[in-house]
Amino acid sequence: MSEAIFTRCVHPPSIMPIAKGGTGGSTKKNARTNLAVMTETVLYSNSSGTISTITLSDTYSNYTYIEVYFNDNGVNNVVRLHTSKGQVQLSNDYVSSTTGPSSLYVHTALLTFSGKTATFIRQAVFTITTDDNASIDRTASNSVRVTRIVGRGY
């Protein structure tokens, strides 16, 4: 019996076209969507933050999600919205307790999106006291500052 000799050809790696990559997508965007891989685009960035109308570097509806990073009295937060919503509520809450009754402070702002613009509709602070004469008070405020807006899409 003779010994068999096996020969194997190994080809160097090459770039496989998306249409043959098993993603089920015929474009880069379809391939990323099918693989759930999102890209990130910074649409606005200002480390000091702003309470004014924001001009974005691209139209917000070109993305699946928008992430809004904001600061409120030194507390950083982020909220994600689906672009079909067109607006987002930004809020932080704080509990204050001293020797007397506690109070809950809710700092809130409504931010709306249209085209390449993000606009504050209103900002307020709600104070809820928990003593025997419990009360809720609302005052205007500009404490919520947007520091960054990121678009995420396929």
Q: What is the pLDDT of residue 73?
A: 81
Cα angle: 120, vertex 127, 109; to 5 degrees: 10
- Phi first, then psi: what are they for 114, rounded to 5°? -155, 120
Q: What is the pLDDT of residue 137?
A: 83
CB atoms within 10 A of CB 1: 3
pLDDT digits (tens, 9 = 90+) for 134-153: 788 888 888 899 999 999 98
Q: What is the pLDDT of residue 98?
A: 62
Q: What is the pLDDT of residue 74?
A: 83
Give CB contacts under 8 A, 24+ apart, made by 78-87: 80/152, 83/113, 86/112, 86/113, 86/114, 87/111, 87/112, 87/113, 87/121
Q: What is the pLDDT of residue 131?
A: 72
Tokens encoding 79:
């909220």
Tokens encoding 110:
């409504």
24 dihedral zone (left: phi>0; alpha: psi -120 to 50; beta): left
* Residues with Cβ within 8 Å of residue 94, at least 6 apart in sequence: 75, 104, 105, 107
pLDDT digits (tens, 9 = 90+) for 13-24: 555 555 555 666
Give the C-alpha separation, 16 to 9, whole Å.
18
Q: What is the pLDDT of residue 13?
A: 54
For the chain, residues with pLDDT lower than 50 are none
**147, containing H or E segment:** strand 144-153
Domain extents for the chain?
Answer: 38-153
